[in-house]
Amino acid sequence: MVSIIIPVFNRKKYTEAMISSIVVQTNPDWELLLVDDGSTDGTLDLLKSFVSKDNRIKLFQRDRLPKGGQTCRNIGFENSQGEYVIFFDSDDLIAPYCIEQRIRFMNEHKNVDFGIFPAHTFFDERNHSTCKKSDQIYGVKHKTDALSSFLRLEYQFTIWTNIYRKSSIVDLSWDENVLILQDLDFNISALIAGKSFAFAEDCKFDYYYRILYSSDTVCANFVSKEKCESTIYLFSKTLDKLSFMSDFKKYKRDLAFYIALYFERILIDADIDNIEKYLKFCHHKYSKSLTFRLSIVAKATMLFKSPNARMNIPHVFNMILIPRMGLSSLINKIKSK
């Protein structure tokens, strides 16, 4: 049996669509653990309705702090009964054969801790099952090693592309102090811990990641005081873990990509305290050269008063001052908008 764990917070319409796509799976050997994070829009009543109709669906409500998907996933994992575990998001969709092909793959690959399956993005209200050239694709093997790819913003896979052997990840709980970039933290922890994996290269797309855009989500979701502090904690923790690896210097350079990207988002919000706090972290963990370059980016960006005007300025300066970010990084960023 596979345990499907989904943290839920509002977005009733999308949550209903996701659960409905699970109920019609061709392989019925699953349990669905829904963990509500304090929904306020009627979503909780929707979840109770599904529970009353299918005894494979179980409902939990977050009973401890902190609020967030990381805590909800831990609660779901603690109550899971399956041999395999899958972490899905509540506002996406899966193909009818998703569970069937993932379980079959793991049964055929007894030596791996987790399997990775192809997925693609789609914009809300579009036919999700059709993969377009403009869609971002996940779950496809790259030439570079997986850890390096993550640190360089080149995701080979993410949480929802994977199915985990439960016995292999009992030592990998979700860090409840990490408020954003939680997928990054979990994946990097798994890779550093040496968990083995395999790409299901001959399998069909089975997960559809819904892109929802709101003009006020970038700053609100990424750069509050609490989330800035959480991200500094995450990057510091990651560097500490990487320091025990033989390729530490290489991976530390790779992580600078992520550090520069997050700094761009801080600059969009233009919170001086966050900017100074982040630069202090960079000075402590990296060279004076990197801190100096990021300081120049900050000064140039702060000349622009409008958040819209500041949207792309930091990335242009990062490309110039941190050349390894390269043109491809800018192109990928534009595509992802």
Measure the CA–CA gap between 59 and 67, rounded to whole angstroms. 17
Verify that 26 and 163 share a domain, yes or no.
yes
pTM for this model (two decimals): 0.88
- Where is the domain boundary, 180, 211, 242? 211
Please report, in angstroms and rounded to a whole number, the separation of the first and last CA atoms in the chain: 37
Residues 299 and 182 in one domain: no
Final residue belonging to a domain, choices 147, 182, 211: 211
Which pLDDT belongs to residue 268? 79
- Taken in order 44, 49, 52, 53, the sign of the CA dihedral is negative
Q: Are residues 137 and 60 in the same domain?
A: yes
Shared domain check, 145 and 228: no
The CA-CA-CA angle for residues 84, 86, 90, to 5°, reads 155
pLDDT of residue 127: 64
Instruction: Provide the residue range defining the domain that includes 113.
Output: 2-211
Pair 122, 33 in one domain: yes
Answer yes or no: do 32 and 126 share one domain.
Answer: yes
Tokens of 199: 């790409």
Torsion angle of C-alpha atoms 313, 315, 316, 317, degrees rounded to 10: 90
Rounded Cα distance, 38 and 157, in Å: 29
Q: Which of 211, 230, 260 is the last residue of a domain?
A: 211
Q: What is the CATH number of the domain that holds 193?
A: 3.90.550.10
CA neighbor of 315 nearest in space, from 328, 305, 306: 328
- What's the domain count of the chain? 2
Tell me the two tokens of residue 120: 């693609």
Same structural domain, 260 and 116 = no
From the list 75, 90, 96, 82, the residue with the least C-alpha distance to 16 is: 90
Q: Tell me, yes or no, whether 15 and 30 share the same domain.
A: yes
Q: Are residues 67 and 41 in the same domain?
A: yes
- Residues 167, 222, single domain; the answer is no
Q: Are residues 223 and 74 in the same domain?
A: no
Q: What is the full per-residue pLDDT of the chain (337 aa) written as tens digits?
A: 999 999 999 999 999 999 999 999 999 999 999 999 999 999 999 999 999 999 999 999 999 999 999 999 999 999 999 999 999 999 999 999 999 999 999 999 999 999 999 999 988 766 676 666 557 888 988 777 899 988 887 878 999 999 999 999 999 999 999 999 999 999 999 999 999 999 999 999 999 999 886 544 444 456 788 999 999 999 999 999 999 999 999 999 999 888 888 888 888 787 899 999 999 999 999 988 888 888 888 887 787 777 666 666 656 655 555 555 443 443 344 334 3
